[in-house]
Amino acid sequence: MSSGMDHFSLQPLLLQLLSSRGLALAGLLLLLVLCLRARRSRRPGEPPLIKGWLPYFGQALKLQKDPIGFMKTLQKQHGDTFTLLLGGKYITFIMDPYQYPFVMKNHKLSFKVFSKNIIRKAFSIQKFMTSELNNELRDCYQLLQGKSLDTLMDNMMQNLQEVFEHQLFKTTNWDVTHLLTFCTSAVFEATFTTIYGKFLGADRKKLITELKEDFLKFDNKFTHLISDVPIELLGNTKSIQKKLIKCLTSEKLAKIQGWSEIVQMRQDILEKYYTSKDVEIGAHHLGFLWASVANTIPAMFWAMYYLLRHPEAMAVLRDEIDHLLQSTGQKQGSGFSIHLTREQLDSLVYLESTILEALRLCSFSSIIRYVEEDLTLPSETRDYFLRKGDLIAIFPAVLHQDPEVFEAPEEFRFDRFVENGKKKTTFFKRGKKLKFYLLPFGLGASKCPGRFLAVIEIKQLLIILLTYFDLEIVDDKPIQLDKGRFLLGIQYPDSDVLFRYKVKS
């Protein structure tokens, strides 16, 4: 926060810039800075450099318009390694999947430097960066595995069934609604109550709805937040960010009942480094909440959308789920609850394949590292020099759409990851088996620690919907990926779509 003296001394400059002549001068100065940033030239031994004619932005607009098509074109022209100017940053892309381990294991490539910048911009967290706090918070992720994951899973199933409880006892008339809206409400409420617990009081539903609406507004600006655009230029984003952080402070969380183990552990750690009234504790919780739901919502949407568009897939999944419920002696119907272990969930190979196939088609996650020192990148054809201060990136969406790895990659095939009734994990490129063929959750140090819970939640939600409800698509219009989050997670649809559902008779 600026002091009064800073604010006072800036006033004459601000007044000058606000005049028409001042604005023109500021525009010219900005243009000059952008042009200077784009003056870089390729040195001997470096990867091909593609800057484009736009200063600062470079190739960002082309990449956003058609990420996979554009990257495939560059790969044909320049090979498996090339450097792009994107939003003022020089990013070297590694397209060869057999080079992925180099990015994962090289100690000169840092995820911390890159993530620190994002955390500061998006969530207004400043104190995350002490290595002790960072390491202690990372230790919490063990509570997203093993017995702790089993507890989360049981609570998630109970909360998901509660989300639909009032609908299960309605008449068997059709309800028509928008699919993305439906998935957003179900995922947000179930995830929040599983991780943070339940609001106390009669207005619980109102509070969770208001929190969800503010979260969606915040998430909608996320790509701008982590760019170089000041938050003050993003409309009311700063006030929404502050409101969300305030909702998740120690004082507010104390009024929520049923914290998960991981939230309790995180809170205990944060209170060692902050005073209990420090607002930044809420910023840490906002970051954790965002990581828990921001990509699960669109992933759930696409899994549902593809099933609705492919009744033959839905029929196979229903049969698989029915068979499991019968074999475990569980009755079906609105008066019964479903209880499944992790092993039983894992046995549903067509259900898991459906989710993986949806992720393959809609994940544009990238794996990005900061180059801490000049280094040499080895490859089968030649070695390249990389500069300190640049970024290096893997963009697996191109691999996910590679016809050599996945036959007819543009098609949704619900059984793509099933072979002879078991999970299929063997895929090839250039005649060699791929260790990494599907990377929606990142790789190495940046691999999503909550990936197991996210997939379990989608499985559980699909099981509830396929067991209790009849489901049909209403809009038969094809929808596309929004691509507004290119290089960042699961893409949202470019429009919502109507579907209808009713309780099975």
Angle between helices 296-309 and 280-293 (to 10 degrees): 20
Contact 305, 179 (CB under 8 A): yes
Neighbours of 81 (CB within 10 A): 23
Find out whether 121 is annotated in a ligand binding site. yes
How far apart CA 404 and CA 222 sit, in angstroms, is 34
Sign of CA dihedral 285, 116, 141, 93: positive
Helix count and strand count (H, E) for the chain:
22, 17
Judge whether 35 is annotated as a binding position: no
CA distances from 63 to 76, 86, 225 (A): 15, 9, 19
Q: In residues, how long is the chain? A: 505
Q: Please give the structure tokens belonging to residue 42.
A: 């390729």
- Could you tell me the two tokens for 175? 């309800």
Q: Phi/psi of residue 374, each to 5°? A: -55, 140
How far apart are the C-alpha atoms of 106 and 371, rounded to whole Å?
Answer: 10
| Dist. CA 124–CA 15, nearest whole Å | 28
Backbone angles phi, psi at 419, to 5 degrees: -145, 120
Q: Which two tokens stand for residue 229?
A: 């655009």
Q: Is 295 annotated as a binding residue?
A: yes
Place of tokens 């100690």: 107
* Angle separating helix axes 261-273 and 131-139, nearest 10 degrees: 170
What distance in Å separates the CA atoms of residue 333 and residue 13, rounded to the nearest whole number?
70
CB 453 within 8 A of CB 374: no
Nearest in space to 153 (alpha carbons), one of 99, 212, 195, 97: 195
| Distance in angstroms (rounded) separating the CA atoms of residues 109 and 45 | 19
Positive or negative, the CA dihedral 92, 97, 103, 106 is negative
State how beta strands 49-50 and 81-86 pair. Answer: parallel
Sequence ranges of the binding site: 121, 295, 448
Which residues participate in the annotated binding site for heme? 448
Q: Which residues are annotated as a binding site for substrate?
A: 121, 295
